[in-house]
Amino acid sequence: MYEYKISTPKADFYDITREVRQAISASGVTNGIAVVFCPHTTAGITINENADPDVVHDMLLGLEKAYPDRVEFRHGEGNSSAHLKASAVGRLSLSAQPNEVVKSP
């Protein structure tokens, strides 16, 4: 198992492809499943090919519109919308192919 820590000062998308590829390469596995999991309750993992930066903008905008901060939220840390967004995005599985990370179907 490989573990990485990422500090994220704000809501955004962070490319972790390099870290996932390094972990798969270091494992020596050439065929199988790599599970990428984020245990934090206000962060999630999703797939984006990064071909168009407007996609990240639109996803952030969509998540903010779907899960805005609300005065009715009771959670003392004031980040209930981040918990909702993370629950909606969820976690991700990737398949390991020889020297390549491929999105799961």
Quick: pLDDT tens for 49-85.
Answer: 778 989 999 999 999 999 999 999 999 888 899 999 9
pLDDT above 90 covers a percentage of the chain that reads 30
Q: Compute the distance between CA of residue 17 and CA of residue 59 in angstroms, rounded to an integer.
A: 18
- Residue pLDDT, tens place only, 36-55: 888 888 988 888 777 898 99
Take residue 23 and report the two structure tokens written for it. 């972990």
Maximum separation of any 2 CA atoms in the chain, in Å:
50
What confidence score (pLDDT) does residue 99 get? 57
Distance CA 21, CA 99 (A): 8
Q: Which parts of the chain are beta strand (E)?
A: 32-36, 92-97, 100-103
The H or E element containing residue 23 is: helix 17-27
Domains of the chain and any CATH numbers: 17-103 (2.60.120.460)
Residues near 64 by beta carbon (within 8 Å), at least 6 away in sequence: 11, 81
Contact criterion met (CB below 8 Å) for 10 and 56: no
pLDDT tens digits, one per residue of 9-37: 788 888 888 888 888 889 888 777 788 88
User: What is the residue-averaged pLDDT of the chain?
Assistant: 84
Residues in the chain: 105
pLDDT of residue 105: 47
Sheet with 32-36: list strands edge to edge. Answer: 32-36, 92-97, 100-103
